[in-house]
Structures are given as C-alpha cells and as structure tokens.
Structure 1
Amino acid sequence: MEETINIVLVIIGGLVFFLGVVSEVIKKLNFSEPIAALLFGVLLSSAVSGVFNPDVWSHTLLEEVARLAVAVGVMGVALRVPFSYTRKHWKSVALMLILTMPFRWIASSVLIYWITGFGFTVSLLIGAIVTPTDPILTLSVVSGKLAEKNLPGRLRHFLLTESGSNEGLAYLFVILPILLMTLKPAEALSRWTVHTLLWEISFSIILGAAAGYISGRMLRSAKSKGTIDSSSYYSYCLALTLLVLGGVKLLKGEGILAVFAAGTIFSMVSTEEERHEEEHVVEGVDRFFMVPIFTLLGLVLPWQEWAKLGWEGLILAFLILLLHRLPILLFTRSFIPDIRNNPDMLFAGWFGPVGIGAFYYSQVSMRHTGIMEIWPVVSLIICMSIFLHGVTATPFTKLYGKHTLQKPEYSKEKTEDQKSRLQNKEHFKVKSLQEVLKR
C-alpha cells in the first residue's frame, strides 16, 4: 500500500510539473491539459499497462474525489471572475441558465431515449447528469495568453460564470428522476419542491453567501491588522472551499452550489489588490486538482461497456455535444445581452463541455438507483467532450478573434481588455517589489 501511494505521488507530481512547464506549447499544438491527463490515466489503467487496478476502488471514493474537484473548480471560477462583471452582467448569466438549462436537459434526454432505448426516467436522469457545463474544462478554453488575445473579457467571464453556477444547479435536474424512481410521483414532486428546491438549493446559496461574506470580512480585518501574510492567504481560499463544502453537506444541503455562492460573495468583499492575489492562487490550485481528476477518469473508463454501445454510443455523444446548446442559443440569443453577434452565439453554443460535474453526478446517481448502465453512456460523452472541445479550443479561439475583435466596431472592447491586463501586470510588478523591500 505504501509503495502504491508513493507511485501515485511521483506520477501526479511529475505530470503536474510537466504540464505546467509546457502548458502554452500544448495549446499551440491544438491539444489541452485535460486530454494529456486523461490519456495518461488510460496508459496507467488495467486496460493498458496495468499499473493500477481501479476495479477495487469503491464508488464512494470516486464520488468524493470528484466532488472535491468540482468544488475547487467552481471556487476557482468564482474568484477569477471580477465581481464588477457579476454585478453588471448578472442578467445575461441568469437568462442563460433559465432559458438553456431545461432545454439542454430535455434535448439530451430525448436523444438518449431515442438512441439507447433506455426507459424514459433513466433517460431523464442521464440527460440531467450531462446537462451542466464543466468549469474546469471551460477554464482551459477561456484562460491563457491565446484566449486573452482573441476573446473579449465579456465572453470569457460569461462562460466561466455560467459554468460555475450551473454545476450546482444541475442537482435540481439530477435529483428529480432519482426521486421519481424511488418514491411515488406525488411524494417525489413534493419532496423535490420542499426539500430540494427550498432547502438543498435555496438555503445552501444563503449559507454559502454568508460564509463568503464573513470570511471576506475576516480576511480584510486580518490584513489591516497585519496578522496574515501571503503564504497564509494562499491556504485561505482552499480552506474556505473545504469548510463550505463539508459544512453545508453536514446540514444536508448542496455543497457545490454553496461553494460557488461563497466564492462569489468573497470576491465581492475583497479589495482589488486581494482579488489579484486570488487569481494568482486559483491558477495554481486549479492545475493541481485538474490533473489528478482527469487522470483518475482515464483509469476508470469502461472499455468493455463502450464496445457494447457500438457506433450508436459515439453518435449519441456527438449529437448531445452538438445539439444541447447551439439550437436553444440560436433562438434565445436576442434575450441574452452578452450574446451580441453570431460569433458569440456559435462560440458559446459549442463550448459547453461536459466533464467532472457529470462524473460526480453519475456516481451519485448510481449510488441512489443502483443502475450501473449510467456510467458507460456518461463517461463516453465526457471523453468525447474532452477531446472535441480540447482540439477545437485553439483554432476556434483564433477564428473568433480573426472575425470579431479585428473589426473596427469591436476595437474599443479589445482596447479595454488590453488595458485591464496591463494594469494586472503592473500590479504584480509593484507587489513583487514590495515583497523584496520587506525582506
């Protein structure tokens, strides 16, 4: 056991180090870090080299690891997006969630029902599992030098905020089919309305927001009194994530949504200087948690079950990725202020990746229902999303920049983004100089 743990530490640490060194090179090659981590997991799996045997791992372990990774991802999104954007553009995000999430759920469920032949309720459950947009994969698309150069901050922040908020809200859609399978219809709807909507969702948002506000105030007080240094600050954000995730779950709430609410309010309370530090922390933490979770995913892929799905499984996965966002955005774009043109609509419609959130919700669903057929379908959709969105991120980002930001009517938006990035760089230069002078 000790030897296995040491092997895991060496492998994960080495991969994180390597991907950190060549991250920009990978993007230029139309590749992505999640793809690299996933392939590395496949290489280590029992299906290839046999270094690890995931068959002995419990679903509880996989569920909890995925839950932690999703929580870190949504906290990262909440801290990365400026609260000034959230305050001014909340309407776009809210309309995106209200108008598109139900459609994505129903569209995916219909495709699953039509192609796989699963029962209606099971199809609704799998459709709900693949509904949320993954914040970790979205972050890999809209972050980095290439994205900052070619995508306006408005669009990058819009996609990040939407991915962070719908990851927790997806619980509403996932739990309804589970309740319908385990309870009488009237009892299921009553429990979904009273317990899920009012307690697990609404109260979790309130608890998370309160935790974010209190922790933000405590941090400002500590900084003003000089009782916290930079190294303590780095652990502060991660500690807040763990505190809210575990605390809300103990109260039978939805921890992931609470974490996003906590991060959003924490960012609101923070000063501009603190927010820049938050972004600096998030970049490292996101990468550190992203690599292990996608490596783990590669280890547990159900190859034999995929073979049984055949071509129908591949067709299903592709159709879901193609149709669960684009059609609804085509009809609702005029209602969403941040979707200003066709390139915005096409980019936001395509980049709705399915990732670790679906991994987590699939484990939750199998624990509640005992339906193991969920995982082969969900995992195939996740993997196709990782590959398709990973290899198209660079060319589509360049194409967006070529056809949108180069036009005169968008020059003002591009100039504002460049000015903001320049201010951030100057901030870090001043901050580094201050640290040197203190020593």
Structure 2
Amino acid sequence: MPLLLCFALILLAAVLLSSLANRTILSTAVLFLVAGFVLGEGVTGVVPLTPSDPSVKLLAELALFAVLFTDGMKVGWPQLRTAWRLPGRALGWGMPLTLVITALAAHFIVGLGWPESLLIGAVLAPTDPVFASALVGNDKVPPRLRHLLNVESGVNDGIALPFVMVFLAISAGSGDLGLGALGLELLLGLVIGLAVPWLALRLERLRFFSASTQYEPLNALAIGIVVLALAQAVHGNLFIAAFTAGITVATFGSRQRQAFEHFGELIAELLKLAALLVFGVLISPAFLAEISWAGWLFVVVAIFVARPVALWFSFLGARLNLREQAAAMWFGPKGFASVVYGLIVLKSGIAGADLLFHLIAGTIVVSILLHSSTDVVVARWLDDAAETPAWHRRLRRFTGTDRSEPSGGEKAHAARS
C-alpha cells in the first residue's frame, strides 16, 4: 500500500509539472528516480524493497515489454528495409565496439576477470531512448536521427540478451552454455511476435468480427497481452516477442496502430515511471558509497567514452552532419534492459555478482540523470526553426552547424564587443 500511494502522489506531481518538464531540463524520469531514492530503506524507509523481491523483476520486465511493444509499433518492415543503413551501422559496429570498450574498462580499471568484464559490457551495451523522449518524439529533430535511435534501441535489447546469457554461463564456470535452449527461446519469441498479431489482424477482417470505435484502442493491447502470456507459457523471449509484435502490427494493421498509439504510449509511460520508482528505492546512500573510486571511474568511461568512441568509428563515411552524429554518440542511455539484465546477474549467484550489480546500477543512475536532463537541450540544438536562446545559436556557429544569420541584438552585441 505505501508503494501504491507514493506512486500515485508522485504521478500527480509529475502530471502537474509535465509542461514545465517539456520546456526545461526538469525530467519526470529523474523525479521518480530521486523520489524512489528518498523513499527507500536507506533514507526514509517508507517503501521497504530489496532486489530479491519478485515484484522488482516482474515490474522491470513488464515495463521493458511495454516499451519495446510500443517502440516496435513506430516502424514497419518497409521502413526497416528502406532505412536500415544507419541503424545497421550502430548495431553491427557500434554495439559490439561499445561492449568491447566497456569490457576493457571493467578489466583494467576495476580489475574484473575477462568473463565478468564481457558480461558487464553486454549488460550495458543496449540503449534506451525512452529517457531521451524529447529527442525521439520531436518532429523537429531530423527523421533519420529519430529513426536511428528508435530502431537501434528497440533491436539492441534482444541482440544483447544472448551475449548476456553466454557470458553469464562462462562466468559461472558452466561447461554447458545452453546455446540450444537460448536459441530456441529467441526463435519462439520471434515466431510468437509474428504469428499472434498477424492472426489477430486477419480475424478482424472477417465479416463476423469488427472492433467498435470504443474498443478499437484495446485491440493492440489485447494482442500485446496475448503475446506476453504466450511467450511466458512456452518460455519464449519476451523482449524479442514484444518488439517483433509491435513491428507486425505496424506493418499489417495501420488502423489498429493509429488507434492504439496514444493509449499505448500512456501505458508504457506508467509502467516505465513505476519501474523507475522501484529502481530508485533499491539505490541507497550506503549502496552508492560501496562503489569504489575505480568503480566510479568505470561509470564515467562507460558513459562518456564507450558509446561515443564506438559510434564515431561506426559512422565514419556515413555523411551525418556534426549535430546529428554528436546527438547519436551522446544519447546512449542505459534503461530497462540493463536493469533487467543486471537483476538477472545479481540473482545468478556467480562470484562477484554484487560488485557487478553495483557497477551496473551506478552506471544506470548516472545515465538517467544525465540523459534525461539534456534531451530538451539537444532537441532545441537540432531544431533550426526553434526559438533557441542566444547561447544555443552561438554554440551552433562555433561548431559550424548554424545556417541562420545572427539576430540584430546579437550583431549589436558583437559590435559593442
């Protein structure tokens, strides 16, 4: 009951502050994270939760499923085929390089063994643009950049999962890596994500079935719940199933996609904020104090070096302008996938699981604070038509990316200088 009441009160506060958050660096994601931190046992003890509580993992998985399902509905197979060049670079080169650079940092800075270093690299490789929503959801931001970040984040969660499982098995010293079972899990998720939406959409086209206007937004919701339940029942991969199902609906049911779009985003937002609140509860001052200086140095490298360097290399010759490339390099926030995979590592019982979870959680916390607070700033920087502050325009001219003329006030100020 305390958790539900706290969530309701913080949600009300977030709604009342949402307009201000859309215009400033204030972030609702940070609000829920900080509120969870304050309400946790390490500060006030209002909400007693531990990482071993089953509700923690359940909520994180539901939130990630909802986010991937709604992300998948933003693109269809035709769009993926015709605009795959940049996401392909980010996934084919950027993601493996991010994993390797993160693993190198974990090995040489923190002193982890190679299996554990590769494991934490795989956990932190996926990105989550939910925490950069002002960028991904802004029509003024170049479409190819929004498409790049959206497709990359939706696909890389599932791509990272096999690596997480393999490196986890190696870290545990298991001789049987279970690759056959893992491959079957991924295949089942893919099949369920394709078959269930396709069959449901075909049924609706029969003359005996037709969704009323009132219930039409629930059509895609029902499809998502069936996909979730079936994937759990047959042990298919939930996240592959979610993203594939979203793409299938977008491809074969444009009307259902439009009816569900706003409703689905609200559901995903609610689950995301609830998961952030719970994650914040798990992070206490004592928890953060247990991270050594080497651990914090690793966090800095994981955020400021790993992805920027990896994407800089990946986009060589891609003809992205400076602003687009800088935004793509910066926005590699760690979100629900890393939270879920981190909890899997914590509960695995491998040697050093607690240390790995501390490093993962520290990186996620810093990432959310940084990326959620800079999305509006970067979105304005990318928007040529926006009424941006003078310092934005000066920054654009300094980087050579401003095509507009200085305003009269700026010219007069320059003349006086």
TM-score interval, smaller chain: 0.7 to 0.9
Corresponding letter in the other structure for 1:234? P
CA–CA distance in 1 between the matches of 2:193 and 2:292? Answer: 43
- Pairing partner for 1:354 from 334, 345, 354: 334
Partner residue of 2:226 out of 243, 256, 271: 243
1:101 aligns with 2:95: yes
2:159 aligned with 1:169: yes
Q: Work out the CA distance in 2 between the residues paired with 1:195 and 1:94.
A: 27
Partner of 2:315: 333
- Conservation of the 8 A alpha-carbon contact between 1:63 and 1:363: yes
> In the TM superposition, what is the alpha-carbon distance from 1:136 to its structure 2 partner?
2.6
CA distance in 2 between partners of 1:372 and 1:341 (Å): 42
Aligned to 1:50: 45
Offset from partner CA, 1:254-289 (integer Å, 9 cap, x none): 111111001101110113x43322321222112211
1:217-296 paired onto structure 2 within 5 Å = 217-219=202-204, 221=205, 227-271=210-254, 273-296=255-278
Q: Distance in 2 between matches of 1:307 and 1:9?
A: 28
Contact kept? 1:133, 1:352, Cα under 8 Å: yes
One-letter amino acid of the structure 1 residue matched with residue 58 of structure 2: E
Q: Deviations over 1:199-229 (max 9, x none)?
A: 222342233112222233334x27x767323
Give the corresponding residue for 1:419. none
1:120 aligns with 2:108: no
Taking the aligned partners of 1:405 and 1:291, their CA distance within structure 2 comes to 35
- Contact preservation (8 Å) 1:80, 1:282: no
Kept in 2: contact 1:101–1:131 (CA 8 A): yes
Q: Residue 20 of structure 1 is aligned with which of 6, 15, 40?
A: 15
Q: 1:61 to 1:131 in 2, by over 3 A?
A: same
**Judging changes above 3 Å, is the alpha-carbon distance between structure 1 residues 50 and 59 closer, same or farther for their aligned structure 2 residues?**
closer
- 8 A Cα contact 1:113 1:123, kept in partner: yes
TM-score (norm 1): 0.81
Alpha-carbon distance, 1:405 to partner: 9.1
Aligned residue in 1 for 2:190:
205
Q: 1:5-84 maps to which residues of 2 (within 5 A)?
A: 5=1, 7-55=2-50, 58-81=52-75, 84=78
TM-superposed deviation, 1:350: 0.8
1:148 aligns with 2:139: yes
**CA distance 1:249–1:226, shift in 2 (3 Å):** closer
AA of the residue aligned to 1:399: W
8 Å Cα contact 2:134-2:376 kept in structure 1: no
Aligned amino acid, residue 18 of structure 1: A
Partners of 1:225 and 1:407 lie apart in 2 by: 57
CA separation of 1:50/1:348 partners in 2, compared to 1, >3 Å: closer, same or farther?
same
Residue type matched to 2:139 in 1? E
Matched to 2:367, the amino acid is: S
Question: Closer, same or farther in 2 for the Cα pair 1:37/1:227, shift >3 Å?
Answer: same
Instruction: Tell me if the contact between 1:45 and 1:51 (Cα under 8 Å) persists in the aligned partners.
Output: yes
Q: Kindly provide the amino acid, as one letter, of the partner of residue 358 in structure 1.
A: S
String of CA shifts for 1:277-331, please: whole Å, max 9, x gaps: 2321222112211211111111011432421323333222121111222212222
Checking the alignment, whether the CA contact within 8 Å between 1:79 and 1:282 is kept in structure 2 is: no
Alpha-carbon separation, structure 1, partners of 2:402 and 2:208: 47
SS of 2:291's partner is: helix
Pick closer, same or farther for the CA change 1:157–1:242 going to 2, 3 Å. same
Match of 2:372 among 378, 390, 394: 390
Is 1:110 aligned to residue 104 of structure 2?
A: yes
Unaligned runs of 5+ in 1: 409-439
1:195 paired to 2:181: yes
Q: Which residue matches 1:433?
A: none
Q: Is the 8 A contact 1:108 1:127 kept in 2?
A: yes
Partner Cα separation in structure 2 for residue 385 and residue 356 of structure 1: 12
Render the CA deviation track for 1:55-98: whole Å, top value 9, x for unaligned: 3x634332121111100010111113365532421343233212
- Aligned CA distance change for structure 1 residues 182 and 47 (closer, same or farther; 3 Å): closer
| Secondary structure of the corresponding residue to residue 112 of structure 2 | coil
**Residues 244 and 140 (structure 1), Cα distance of their counterparts in 2 relative to 1, 3 Å cut:** farther
- The one-letter amino acid paired with 2:121 is G
Q: Secondary structure at the match of 1:175?
A: helix
Equivalence for 1:436: none
Q: Which residue is 1:424 aligned to? A: none
Q: Distance in 1 between matches of 2:363 and 2:332?
A: 12
Q: Which residues of 2 match residues 282-321 of structure 1 at below 5 A?
A: 282-321=264-303
- Which residue identity lines up with residue 211 of structure 1 in the other structure? V
Partner of 2:305: 323
Q: How far apart, in 1, do the equivalents of 2:213 and 2:111 lie? A: 55
Contact 1:138 1:163 in 2 (8 A): no
In 1: Cα distance, 2:297 partner to 2:19 partner: 32
Deviation at 1:335, TM superposition (A): 6.2
The whole-number CA distance in structure 2 between the counterparts of 1:135 and 1:392 is: 12
Q: Write the distance in 2 (CA, Å) between the matches of 1:295 and 1:11.
A: 9
Greater displacement, 33-42 / 81-90: 81-90
Aligned sequence identity (%):
22
Q: Hey, what does 1:89 align to over in structure 2?
A: 83
What TM-score results when the alignment is normalised by the length of structure 2?
Answer: 0.85
Distance 1:405 1:163 in 2: 26
8 Å Cα contact 1:212/1:262 also seen in 2? yes
Deviation at 1:242, TM superposition (A): 2.9
Give the 3 Å change call, closer, same or farther, for CA 90–265 of structure 1 in structure 2: farther
> How far apart are residue 138 of structure 1 and its match?
4.0
Amino acid at match of 1:327: V
Q: Give the conservation status (yes or no) of the 8 Å contact 2:74–2:247.
A: no
Pair 328,112 (structure 1): closer, same or farther in 2 beyond 3 Å = same
Residue 363 of structure 1 deviates from its aligned partner by: 1.1
1:128/1:173 contact within 8 Å kept? yes
Q: CA RMSD in A?
A: 2.5
Question: Matches of 1:258 and 1:335 in 2, distance apart?
Answer: 34
